[in-house]
Structure 1
């Protein structure tokens, strides 16, 4: 039991307890003393990264693993199997089985059949974590974008809760933040029903099996996970002309959609680019990080993995990530009524992503 009971001065203070979160200070295991100031930060959330923050779910896992003292880089093999789904690039998530194999963390959907605050209190009292969909309208860290302006769903992880102070330390996007008072009540308490996500999707992360493998053992598991994702991937880099690779299919769809952007304007552009160029760009950027991690292990430990080809793959994926950002800027020009030339950026994205996947296949011994 991780819950810590705090004496706030006896019966006279009873009225100050913020319902419905009870009166105990609660924390996810290992986060009992966590603050915004001392929270660890992954290299993946370096402000210099072109696509940081990534997407809300990937960011949760980057932040949670780092907070728990685990390395998030081994789980990035999922980037190799991402696909274009016809109207959007796949929303990148680490696979549940990968998280269990690497870290001993078990993840699954959690049924919120009672008030959400009661579930938060119960789960945190065991030291486990919840990934909760909330309304970003009530998250101060989205100031200037959603906070007090726009209702949109996003995922957070409550890490440390002080109900009497009305304060929650939580993970969101690329950092650790604090939620207070009415915002806390509206995000997770009695005000939840009035938001964008009155019945939130919630996942339970159980920490009872958490483990920190030795670096070589962790790398070896990451290699096998990466191979699994490459085998699962669409035809990118495989040289199969029967079906265009996902980068080609994305660019073809974007070309067809440029007139729609010009017609519907900037608000539509933000939604469209989030689902297409942003997801493709961040996936490419994380694939580059995965390649560099795998390459470092191949240089340090004996294996059949080609470290130099992985460096080449990382450079190609970095180029694809940059090209996706350039393409996104040009689509914004289209949405603002101009006539941009997108061919160079589009072709650079296809070339980088396809070459990156080909190099990964060869480096991991999966080439044709």
Structure 2
């Protein structure tokens, strides 16, 4: 047994049982052998995205599924008045596209027991944990800052004292004290003593053919575009609201400094930028499908929408750098990047709606 776990009385070694367990399809996985989605390419401007989208990208890739279709939620993401929506795939979309059922899970037993029970059935859990004990966040929060994030345990080997888990843009190993503080009995004394947990049921998983998956994604994308906030009388949409709010917030950003900037930019420019980048991937996927299986969908308009979303994502990154200058007490002109973000987003949504025959 791994001696780093310490005596059972101190660390609760038995809290994870003795049997090696894994999510169905991930039985032999190690961090080095878990498939990596192109969405997590280091060249992607906003990868990692957000912790929830990232674990879904990672889980679907680990299961041999294409995660791009679930990104339709990016088309309906909205500005919430003081921040951009934290984009998440809808549970209904995941069931339609992949047959995967997701719902809140009541952890009335010790979490280690729930982990054993769900993994023994081949199902997965999405668990809120304290990033303070996640070694993949070294240099950011590992052993330096307590903050909540989401992980998916993939494979548990209690005798080796190791857990393979998904977080951010990859798969990693959790062991020893870190494992027990994150998912064992000692988590009750930590930052996330009673985590929000979702159960991912995989027994109904549906591996659609590429054409069938594309048609299903098309329907889901149309639904999200119908749900998206309609442009105002001036043609302005959510990104225009975000830009206006950022301009209004500039004096406070200059007063409160870099600590405030990191929190503010995460909720605004980062969320808007990654949403646009994900929407660009979805539009290109839809364009490729429209070329392969003509269905009255405009390949050209979808390609234009993807380019405009990419432009908005790049503008959000430039705007974020400029906001950092403001927060550090320097002068920065934000108008060009701010307008590029808003205009790119407006054009992208317009072309996506036109391509899917939703324009009035």
Query: TM-score, structure 2 length as denominator?
Result: 0.96
Structure 1 counterpart of 2:169:
174
How far apart in 1 are the matches of 2:259 and 2:12?
A: 42
Query: Which residue of 1 is the match for residue 27 of structure 2?
Result: 32
**What is the SS of the residue equivalent to 2:153?**
strand
Q: Distance in 2 between matches of 1:242 and 1:347?
A: 15
Q: CA deviation at 1:243?
A: 7.7
Query: Could you tell me which residue of structure 2 aligns to residue 307 of structure 1?
Result: 299
- Alpha carbons 2:236, 2:346 under 8 Å: kept: no
Q: Of the candidates 232, 246, 253, which is equivalent to residue 227 of structure 2?
A: 232
SS at match of 1:53: coil
Q: How does 1:333-352 map to 2 (within 5 A)?
A: 333-352=325-344
Deviation at 1:309, TM superposition (A): 0.5
* CA apart distance, 1:118: 1.1
Name the structure 2 match of 1:116. Answer: 111
1:143 is matched with which residue? 138
* Correspondence 1:292 to 2:284: yes
Gaps of 5+ in 2: 2-6
Which residue is 2:241 aligned to?
249
Residue deviations 1:334-354 (CA, integer Å, cap 9, x gap): 111112110000000001000
1:126-137 mapped onto 2 (5 Å cutoff): 126-137=121-132
Q: Match of 2:300, SS?
A: helix
Once the two structures are superposed, residues 215-240 of structure 1 have per-residue CA deviations (whole angstroms, 9 ceiling, x without a partner) of: 1000000000000000000124xxx4
User: d(CA) in 2 for partners of 1:158 and 1:126?
Assistant: 14
What residue number does 1:223 align with? 218
**C-alpha contact (below 8 Å) 2:129/2:195 kept by paired residues:** yes
- Out of 13, 16, 21, the residue aligned to residue 18 of structure 1 is 13
Match of 1:3 in 2: none
Indicate which of 195, 200, 205 corresponds to 1:200.
195
The aligned residue for residue 263 of structure 2 is: 271
Is the partner of 1:235 in helix, strand or coil?
Answer: coil
Equivalent-residue separation in structure 2 for 1:129 and 1:45 (angstroms): 21
- Residue 260 of structure 1 is aligned with which of 252, 255, 268? 252
Instruction: Identify which of 147, 156, 171 aligns with 1:161.
Output: 156
For the residues of structure 2 that align with 1:323 and 1:311, how far apart are their CA atoms? Answer: 18
Question: Helix, strand or coil: the match of 1:265?
Answer: helix
2: CA distance, partners of 1:148 / 1:70: 34
User: TM-score scaled to structure 1, two decimals?
Assistant: 0.94
Aligned: 1:282 with 2:297: no
CA positional deviation for 1:18: 2.3
1:117-139 alpha-carbon deviations (Å, 9 max, x no partner): 11111111111000000000000
Alignment of 1:75-94 (within 5 A): 75-94=70-89
Structure 1 counterpart of 2:356: 364
Contact 1:17-1:163 at 8 Å conserved across structures: no
Structure 1 336/17 Cα, relative in aligned 2: closer, same or farther at 3 Å?
Answer: closer
Partner secondary structure for residue 178 of structure 2: helix
Determine helix, strand or coil for the equivalent of 2:253.
helix
315, 320, 323: which is aligned to 1:328?
320
RMSD across aligned C-alpha pairs, in angstroms?
1.4
Q: Which of the numbers 165, 168, 190 marks the counterpart of 2:185?
A: 190
Number of equivalences: 353
Please tell me whether the aligned partners of residues 12 and 184 of structure 2 are also in contact (alpha carbons under 8 angstroms): no
